[in-house]
């Protein structure tokens, strides 16, 4: 399949980092990362959280802003057409809406959302413009859902989109790998932690 995509002209070049970046951490919230919650039992998501600490620490040290999103609803009636009723139990201020402490820092920003994309119905695009960034480094969960939706919208907003594959997670590894491969063909560069840090350091002149 990869050869057929390549033959058709996909993945023709890397996008690369621009002049200023921000970290976009999608939904690494306790309801999705901790096993006490029905949606938080994926070992792949927990592994992604563990791998994200070094990257986020280095980003903060370089002065790169960190923006988190979390899904939360005003009860089941606010859930809309989601096919995951457990999401309706996550309300603003609840334990499930809290960002996992392994990736949170008091200097970080948090935006609550109700749709898959970090951008839809939120001030994320305005915040990134205020920060004057042209590059977003994306990590979080779930790869096949909110990560993919956020990548597509970041691309649609004209942002250079860098996805740290090993810092993303999903319920299934097959879905995770397939979606990373797909967005990497079209919209984003998929990189590992070391490459992401190198890109951030190059921008900062470190």
- Residue range 92-101, pLDDT digits in tens: 999 999 999 9
- Measured distance CA(105)–CA(99) in Å, rounded: 9
Domain boundary assignment for the chain: 17-204
Percent of the chain with pLDDT over 70: 99
Mean pLDDT for the chain overall: 96
Considering only residues 132 and 10, tell me which one the structure prediction assigns the higher pLDDT.
132
Between the CA of residue 49 and those of 76, 109, 160, what are the distances in Å? 27, 17, 23
Considering only residues 13 and 151, tell me which one the structure prediction assigns the higher pLDDT.
151
Q: Which two tokens stand for residue 99?
A: 């960002």
Return the CATH architecture of domain 17-204.
3-Layer(aba) Sandwich (3.40)
Predicted confidence band at 80 (pLDDT cuts at 50, 70, 90)? very high
The half-sphere exposure of 17 on its side-chain side, counting CA atoms within 13 A, is 21
Count, residues in the chain: 206
Whether the per-residue pLDDT at 206 is higher than 70: the answer is no
Any idea which residue has 């606010």 for tokens?
78
Angle made by CA atoms 94, 29, 198, in degrees to the nearest 5: 150
Question: Active-site residue numbers?
Answer: 146
């Amino acid at each position: 399949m990869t050869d057929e995509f390549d033959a058709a002209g996909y993945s023709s070049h890397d996008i690369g980092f621009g002049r200023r970046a921000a970290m976009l951490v999608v939904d690494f919230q306790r309801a999705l990362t901790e096993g006490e919650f029905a949606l938080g039992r994926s070992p792949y998501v927990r592994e992604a959280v563990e791998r994200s600490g070094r990257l986020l620490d280095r980003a903060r040290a370089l002065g790169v802003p960190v923006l988190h999103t979390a899904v939360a609803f005003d009860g089941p009636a606010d859930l809309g057409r989601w096919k995951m009723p457990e999401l309706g139990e996550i309300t603003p201020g609840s334990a499930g809406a809290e960002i996992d402490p392994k990736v949170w820092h008091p200097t970080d920003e948090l935006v609550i959302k109700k749709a898959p994309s970090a951008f839809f119905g939120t001030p994320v695009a305005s915040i990134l413009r205020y920060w004057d960034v042209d590059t977003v480094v994306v990590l979080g969960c779930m790869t096949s859902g909110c990560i993919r939706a956020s990548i597509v919208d970041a691309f649609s907003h004209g942002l250079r989109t860098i996805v740290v594959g090993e810092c993303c997670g999903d319920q299934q590894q097959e879905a995770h790998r397939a979606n990373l491969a797909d967005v990497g063909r079209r919209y984003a560069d998929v990189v590992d932690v070391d490459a992401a840090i190198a890109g951030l350091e190059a921008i900062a002149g470190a």
